[in-house]
Amino acid sequence: MNITKSTELTNWYIFGMVSKEMTECLFCKIAGHEVPVVIRYEDDLVIAFDDIHPAAPVHVVIVPKKHITGLEAIGDDDHREIMGVFQAVQKLAENLNLGGQYKLVVNGPDLRHIDHLHFHLLNRKIDTE
Give the active site residues: 118
Question: Which residue type occupies 98?
Answer: L
Distance of alpha carbon 32 from alpha carbon 25, whole angstroms: 11
Distance, CA of 79 to CA of 126 (rounded, Å): 35
CA dihedral 85, 19, 67, 90 (to 10 degrees): -10
Residue 39's nearest CA partner among 96, 103, 108, 101 is 96
- Rounded distance between C-alpha atoms, residue 116 and residue 17, angstroms: 15
Residues comprising the chain, all counted: 129
